[in-house]
Amino acid sequence: MDKLREECGVFGVFSDKTEDLARSCYYGLYALQHRGQESCGIVVNDDGVFHDYKDVGLVNDVFTHDVLKSLGAGNIAVGHVRYGTTGAGGRLNAQPIVVNHVKGRMALAHNGNLTNSYELREELEMNGSIFHTTSDTEVISYIITKERISSPSIEEAVNRAMHRLKGAYSLVIMSPSKLIAARDEHGFRPLCYGRTGNGDYVVASESCALDSVGATFIRDIEPGEILVFARDGIRSIRDHCGKEKQTMCVFEYIYFARPDSVIDGYSVHNARLRAGKFLAQTHPVEADVVIGVPDSGLDAALGYAQESGIPYGIGFIKNKYIGRTFISPGQANREDKVKIKLNTISETVKGKRVVMVDDSIVRGTTCGPIIRLLREAGAKEVHMRVSAPPFTDPCYYGVDIDSKDRLIANHHTIDEIRQIIGADSLGYLTLEDVVRLTADDDTDRFCTACFSGKYPTQVPTNMRKNRFEGKISERSEREEEKE
């Protein structure tokens, strides 16, 4: 796959009455399905009794009518959709994680990636902790649980734990009586909350999930903030706010988030329109039609068309019944895979000079087949425009880029990439423009490390995605010496 894998999505709801919150979680997770298609889970709290269900697969497949009914009613619930960046996929690492503790149960769902999870896990294991999963989310749950022993409340345990957690994390946490939302000090990943017409409070990774349950957006949770929902009201703990410079992942606006979401006050749709506008300014070309690669390339293509004056057209139809987790037929049949997912509208491109806009080029393995589809449909020229700069460096904050070796931009010049994918011209969004996606005067609030190599935090020494699951022959000498 030449696309980056999504983040995870978190969802939580707090009510002052007992009701069918599993269904609310279902709708919220359905709206966040684009953020993760490996697994999903829901935990419902009925007056301190937790009922949970999680499995691999899409939300609609996992949560049948009977499963939702079995979760029962409650007054608090949390949910999660997952694509794993630390720890392999599968039911074992599905979230939310449920912890049974002498001071009360806890359910936790996490979006992001800790940069110090390896060190924290090693420390915990050397002190007797036994892990059941290989995800960094369980590390977070252990740190919070350890702090809970000496803390007067669950929120204070979370507050203390945040002093030890490094990297990206947006959390929803459920105790027997409270719903807690927390966002890391840099604000790498989005998190917001709203309220429904019947008074329920809802926390979600994106505002589109609030819309799906009829909740009105109130505000984004600030970087470093802990928000506590309880029967006596809402309380904000701001001990960690303002300690670090905000560095929201700019790729949320380029690709990850749904275009109908608003993140940290800025419309994702408008950000993508601006990306297309900037591309038209920096990489103009004489052409007859502008098309986008579904889905995240469509808005940027519209922006390119509006700025350039070239007509916008629908060039591809996407098979919406194929999820991003369907079985890949392998590298040799990659073009067949593209044909299964996309089909061209020949009337749009036949005999025309086409500008094709997509959100990114990672390995460069699917761009070529897509361009060939256009040529087979009769396109005279294909000019590719990319609404992100070239990927040159790994991401340590939740995006599935763990090696420079897999990035085509590290091995080839732009013109070489153009030749490899078979385009007549190729243009990327510039680093100067990518930080202007939301506003011209607010350019210092993004993490662009995957494009620039300039990281806002200390770079971890061990960040292999499946580093807790490798074969003996793949372990380092240092790891072997510990056995």
367 is catalytic: no
Q: Which has the closest alpha carbon to 438: 251, 283, 312, 295?
A: 251
**C-alpha–C-alpha distance, residues 205 and 95, integer Å:** 15
Q: Which has the closest alpha carbon to 307: 274, 277, 270, 275?
A: 277
Joined tokens for residue 438: 């939301």
Number of helices (H), then strands (E), belonging to the chain: the values are 17, 23
Residue 100, judged by CB atoms within 10 A of its CB (0-12, 13-18, 19+), counts as exposed
Q: Do the Cβ atoms of 225 and 236 come closer than 8 Å?
A: yes
**C-alpha–C-alpha distance, residues 478 and 115, integer Å:** 19
What is the b/e burial string over 347-367, where b = at least 16 CB atoms within 10 angstroms of the residue's CB? ebbeebbbbbbbbbbbebbbb
Catalytic residue among 8, 192, 208, 447: 8
Q: Vertex 39, ends 83 and 473: CA angle to 5°?
A: 60
Output the DSSP codes for 100-161.
--TT--EEEEEEEEESSHHHHHHHHHHTT---SS-SHHHHHHHHHHHHHHH-SSHHHHHHHH
Dihedral angle sign, alpha carbons of residues 306, 308, 309, 314 = negative
Q: Vertex 415, ends 413 and 421: CA angle to 5°?
A: 105
Pairing outcome for strands 179-183 and 167-174: antiparallel
**Residue 312 per-residue DSSP state:** B
Provide the β-strand partners of residue 93: none
**C-alpha–C-alpha distance, residues 258 and 131, integer Å:** 34
Provide the β-strand partners of residue 426: 384
Q: Is the bond preceding residue 96 a cis peptide, omega within 30 degrees?
A: yes
To which H or E segment does residue 70 belong?
A: helix 65-71
Output the DSSP codes for 439-477.
-TT--SSEE-HHHH---SSPPPS---TTTTS--GGGS-H
Active site amino acids: 8
